[in-house]
A and B are shown apart, each in its own frame.
Chain A
């Protein structure tokens, strides 16, 4: 496989001082595509190495860091607004992923870019939560009836809600895997263990083990890995952050069993340790290996490619096949075969015929990166 200047730097920030301008050229391009440029800049700054980076690449790191800090401020303000809206309806604000890392002020939130704020509710609270959020300006835009049904019947989340003025996007979940997947975890278990943040009353995050498990199950059920490397780096940092805490690994293993998430955890730990050299106790690695099954070597080969930055500099000739395989696998995991066949047939039909599934704005310029 190709050497990858970004991956080497993510494993060991101190390499920065040995990098040539040619290496930096690759690092900036790969990190930008993988959405980890701001995180890299913060890491280099913490290690005291940012000032040693040659000026031209340093400028890009500084620019990305600046946007990251801006997003941090905006994200915190938006979370407070969501919390205020939900508190008025006596609903708890349970944050997942990027929003949770940010609100809990965890080290991995530094330079971690995120687009949407992910929220988790009890299924029975969903109608109340949705109407509250709509009342406060977050609405779902034009969407076909089919897609409405797709989300509401089969998925674990509502169609995304966008704020009419500020354009912030909320993903409202009632579980962390689709209702149609083989063994969806019981979301009540997650909510029972959620912890209120001392600095943000009314805002909750999942317990440490569940944070890791959600991140793992999200990444290793996902079919489009545009943020794959960013998400793997999240897992690496979560494990490094919580790893030294008393009893963390035992709880992690126990919760993985309880929530039917041992396989994604197995993949997460294999990929973190091989790609990013995350320290994980040997017995945990050994214990989880069983849950990978016989296909483990194949999955290793696939994920080692698909979790890199999606860029010609990091791809080899098997990367497209690996990405395609994961796309198919993600759909396979998401729903039973008869639903999957019907769903893909419909989506393919609209793609081939170019017919709009619902009214769209023709003048819209393609989204910016």
Chain B
């Protein structure tokens, strides 16, 4: 019989990803033991690709890492497709606990596939929240929900605002706690597409971008690192205060117009992927969120104009109501 292995000296568990050495990061990824937390969601990630490890350490540097062996909400994996494909035209597949929700994609899209896959997991399973396809940002405890179809400039606007004083809760998915109507943040990287990549590079030259990947289903994509403060304060929830439907329109003067509440309700319901699954609860929660918010439509063509207008909204809200203390 082998003697019992000597007890290892106790090492304080690193609290954020940047504290892992790159060897340790890759080792954990290889074993599926990298447990990254963004807000309420813990993702255990398995992947043997060095490029993905490098992008993770760039974009997720400030996220808490948890010790393996505990609870992870989702166990996800990126791996190469079968042996033959590895040589001829290498592709990558995303799996959630052995189940592949999407078709394989070319290797350069590996990190983007991981991001989309993680979004898919949340959207498919986290029905403890009312979830809407919307960006959401916070100022003084007040949240602005920006629901919009792809192409409306929602991510670009969100990226610009979080580099000018607003805190990022999420650029893709708004999670509403049905018990309190508070909004929970994820503070994950922002997915920029096509022209908005260059726009953000000149708008916020200090912002950190992951690899730029051309020819994806969504065109050219890149992920923008979430501001450090947003990541550090991710567990602070926010009260819904505005629902703003943004629309980028070349040459348009910035116009902020009130929107009838029933229209806002229907449009937000359309963007809430589990609205029907939540049934009556979904209806009631959405109604409350609408009741406590100003509903507005916002047409714009310049980000600088948008910054001014949002600044003004925040200042007015601060004058009008004292923010409630939120946990």
Q: Is the CB of B103 within 8 A of A365?
A: yes
Q: Which residues of A are found within 8 Å of B103, using beta-carbon distances?
A: 365-366
Contact with B along A32-72 (1 / 0, CB 8 A): 11000000000000000000001011011011101101100
Q: A295 contacts the other chain (Cβ, under 8 Å)?
A: no
In the complex, what residues of A have CB within 8 A of residue B125's CB? 32, 60, 63
Closest to A58 in B: B128
- Are A70 and B98 also in contact (CB < 8 A) when A22-B69, A59-B126 are? no
Please name all residues of chain A whose beta carbon is closer than 8 Å to the beta carbon of B69 when the two chains form the complex.
22
Q: How far is B73's CA from A25's CA once the two chains are assembled, in angstroms?
A: 8
Residues of chain B within 8 A of A70, CB atoms compared: 276-279
B178, chain A: closest CB distance, angstroms: 10
- Judge if A24 is at the interface, Cβ distance under 8 Å: yes
A57 contact set on B, CB distance < 8 A:
71
A135 in the interface (beta carbon within 8 A): no
Task: Count residues on chain B whose CB falls below 8 Å from chain A CBs.
Answer: 25
Q: In terms of DSSP, what is the predominant structure of the interface of chain A?
A: helix
Interface status of B193 (Cβ within 8 A of chain A): no
A1-42, CB < 8 A from B: 21-22, 24-25, 28-29, 32-33
Instruction: Tell me, yes or no, whether A369 is within 8 Å of chain B by CB.
Output: yes
Q: Quick check: B75 and A29 within 8 Å, CB to CB?
A: yes
**Cβ contacts under 8 Å, B102 to chain A:** 365-366
Residue B89 at the chain A interface, CB threshold 8 Å? no
- B-side contacts of A29, CB under 8 Å: 75, 97
Q: Which of A29, A33, A365 has the most CB of B within 10 A?
A: A29
A368 is an interface residue with CB less than 8 A from chain B: yes
Does B101 sit within 8 A of A, measured CB to CB?
yes
> Is A73 on the interface with B (CB-CB < 8 A)?
yes
Task: Report the Cα distance A54→B71, complex, angstroms.
Answer: 10
| Residues in chain A near residue B252, CB distance under 8 A | none
A33 touches B98 (CB 8 A): yes
B interface, over-half SS: loop
Chain B residues near A33 (CB-CB < 8 A): 97-99
Q: Is the CB of A63 within 8 A of B128?
A: yes
B100 at the interface (CB under 8 A from A): yes
Contacts of A311 in B (CB 8 A): 97-98
Q: Are B99 and A56 within 8 A (Cβ)?
A: no
Given contacts A66-B277, A70-B277, A311-B97, contact A56 B71 (CB under 8 A): yes
Q: Are A24 and B71 in contact (CB under 8 A)?
A: yes
Task: Give chain B residues whose Cβ lies under 8 Å from the Cβ of A73.
Answer: 279
CA distance A25 to B75 in the complex (A): 10
Q: For residue B100, which residues in chain A have a CB less than 8 angstroms away from its CB?
A: 366
For B71, B75, B97, B101, which residue has the most chain A Cβ atoms within 10 angstroms? B71
Set of chain A residues within 8 Å of B73, measured between Cβ atoms:
56, 59-60
Q: Is B194 an interface residue (CB 8 A)?
A: no
Q: Considering the complex of A and B, which 8 residue pairs feature the smallest CB-CB distances, nearest first?
A: A63-B127, A21-B71, A59-B128, A25-B71, A21-B70, A63-B128, A62-B128, A66-B127
